[in-house]
Amino acid sequence: MFYSEIKSVLAGVFLVSVLASTSVSADTRYYPTGSPNPLEVGAEEYQDNYSSLAGLEGVRVETSFILGSAKKYKLDDMKSDLVPQIKKRLEAVNLRMLTEEELKTIPGQPTLTFYPAYTGNDIDKIKGLANPEAETANQLKVDPEHDCCRSSIWASFQQSASILRDPNTQYMFSTWGSGDDTDSCENRGAWTYDAVLKTIDKFVDDYKKAQNERVPKLVSNAADVPDNCAQAWLMNLSVFETNKTTISDAVKPILDQLAATATRCDAYSYLIETHADKRADAEYNKVLSEARAHAIKDYLLRKNVNYSRLKTMAYGESKPLSNGNSEEDHAVNRRVVIIPQRDQS
């Protein structure tokens, strides 16, 4: 999971982390068939699904439509450093700008494609070659029969495979989008340049937001539970006593709030991860972790969280956050992780 990111904030606490899944309806078609995380055919989510950006290492930014349109429509006031500026913004948050060749050879890589559209005075005249001697769009006279302009930019983030970027699946779908538009006829190249970079800035901001949600927030009581459906949690209370599967009374109010949050955040499902410290053998800890995961699941079921929205994963002692032998070290490793997963349908 994201242990390297949370280890520094886990000293002496228990983890209940919260993050992104998939709920389906039997009445519509989904692909890939049989996937545990199917996506409805034809379904797309934009804007509010920034969680799909979490965990990116790089992205292919497709600007050929922008640059091609600028050349075709003679938008000479567009600056020539658009691609370097995009790369600079991505690198500022440690995202690589992937090449076309990398996109072909590395499975499961995402693409952010920009789609421009221009209509109105200047463009109509360029298309119709009404004034072939004019060197730029800004030199063309306004056509009184077409006294309005429209320029728009749309960016669509597409990724191979699922939201988890499984490289073994081949389909593509869009999970994030943003753009801009204007009715001005003036300086359309400059407007396009600024609109693209503004969209990249939005992409970067949403990427940072998604990344930040991977770092758990410390929760000491039910009142601290975050409103954000995807935000990670850290609990500083013992979920279970040593060698027991009984949920601590101090933790129950927090789990009650999780159940209430699940009711409000109906676009999320939950994966329950359990871990154990190393004071018993690996086989025993595995069994203990499984029993604890089901204890939490049963508790949430009794709080009316639907069975289909709850999954469990028991790790035993296989993923320690601390290798020490103090009570503090054992408490850190004897943790529970609850991961909200954004549904795709």
Beta bridge partners of 30: 40
In the predicted structure, residue 301 carries a pLDDT above the cut 90: yes
Give the integer Cα–Cα distance in Å for 339 and 2.
Answer: 11
Higher pLDDT, 293 or 237: 293
Give the integer Cα–Cα distance in Å for 237 and 97.
Answer: 42
**Pairing label, strands 268-275, 310-316:** parallel
Predicted local distance difference test score (pLDDT) of residue 217 = 76
Q: pLDDT band at residue 240, thresholds of 50, 70 and 90?
A: confident
Of 67-81, 136-150, 222-236, least confident by mean pLDDT is 136-150
Reported as a single tens digit per residue, the pLDDT across 256-285 is 999 999 999 888 888 888 888 788 888 888
In the predicted structure, residue 26 carries a pLDDT above the cut 60: no
In the predicted structure, residue 182 carries a pLDDT above the cut 50: yes
Q: pLDDT band at residue 39, thresholds of 50, 70 and 90?
A: very low
Would you call 15 helix, strand, or coil by DSSP?
A: strand
In the predicted structure, residue 302 carries a pLDDT above the cut 50: yes
Predicted local distance difference test score (pLDDT) of residue 28 = 53
- Comparing CA positions, the residue from 276, 271, 264, 213 lying closest to residue 240 is 276
325: left (phi over 0), alpha (psi -120 to 50) or beta: alpha
Is residue 230 within 8 A of residue 20, CB to CB? The reply is yes
Give residue for tokens 């190393």: 278
Predicted local distance difference test score (pLDDT) of residue 337 = 80
Q: pLDDT band at residue 161, thresholds of 50, 70 and 90?
A: very low
Please say whether the dihedral angle defined by the alpha carbons of residues 311, 312, 318 and 320, taken in this order, is positive or negative: positive
The separation between CA 232 and the C-alpha centre of its own chain, rounded to angstroms, equals: 13
In the predicted structure, residue 128 carries a pLDDT above the cut 80: no
Predicted local distance difference test score (pLDDT) of residue 12 = 36
Six-digit token string for 236: 């500083």
In the predicted structure, residue 298 carries a pLDDT above the cut 80: yes
In the predicted structure, residue 172 carries a pLDDT above the cut 70: no
Is residue 137 within 8 A of residue 112, CB to CB? The reply is no
Mean pLDDT, rounded, for 123-150: 51
Predicted local distance difference test score (pLDDT) of residue 236 = 61
